[in-house]
Amino acid sequence: MQATESQIEQAAHALMQGGLVAFPTETVYGLGADAASRAAVAKIYEAKGRPSSHPVIVHIAKPEDMAAWCQDIPDQVWALARAFWPGPLTLILKRHVAVDASVSGGQDTIGVRCPSHPVAQALLIKFAELKAAAGQPRAGVAAPSANRFGRVSPTQADHVRTEFASMWPDGLLVLDGGDSEVGIESTIVDLSGVQNGLSPALLRPGAISLEALQSVLGCPVTGHTAQSPRVSGSLKAHYAPFTPLILCVEHKLEDCVRDWLDTHEGNVAVLLRSDRQLPLDRVHLIRMPMMPAAYARALYATLRRVDESGVSVVIAEQVPDEPDWMGVRDRMNRAAAAFEGNSSQT
Predicted local distance difference test score (pLDDT) of residue 341: 60
CB under 8 Å to 341, separation ≥6 — which residues?
none
- Classify each residue of 94-131 as buried b or exposed e, where b means 16 or more C-beta atoms within 10 Å of its C-beta: bbbeebeebbbbebebbbbbbbbbebbbbbbebbbebb
- Residue 86: per-residue pLDDT: 98
Q: Which residues lie below 8 Å from residue 75, measured CB to CB, with a gap of 6+? A: none
The confidence score (pLDDT) of residue 30 equals: 98
The C-alpha atoms of residue 177 and residue 1 are separated, in whole angstroms, by: 7
Q: C-alpha distances in angstroms, 148 versus 3, 153, 156, 249? A: 23, 8, 15, 30
Read off the amino acid at residue 343.
Answer: S
pLDDT at residue number 217: 96
Would you call 189 helix, strand, or coil by DSSP?
strand
- Alpha-carbon distances, residue 262 vs 265, 266, 283, 342 (angstroms): 8, 11, 12, 15
pTM over 0.85, yes/no: yes
What is the secondary structure of 260-308 as a DSSP string? HHHH--S-EEEEESS------TTEEEEEPPSSHHHHHHHHHHHHHHHHH
Give the residue ranges of the chain where pLDDT is below 50: 343-346
Amino acid 343: pLDDT? 47
Tens of pLDDT, residues 179-221? 999 999 999 999 999 988 889 999 999 999 999 999 999 999 9
Contact yes or no for 241/335 (Cβ under 8 A) = yes
Pairwise CA distance, residues 217 & 127, whole Å: 32
pLDDT of residue 346: 39
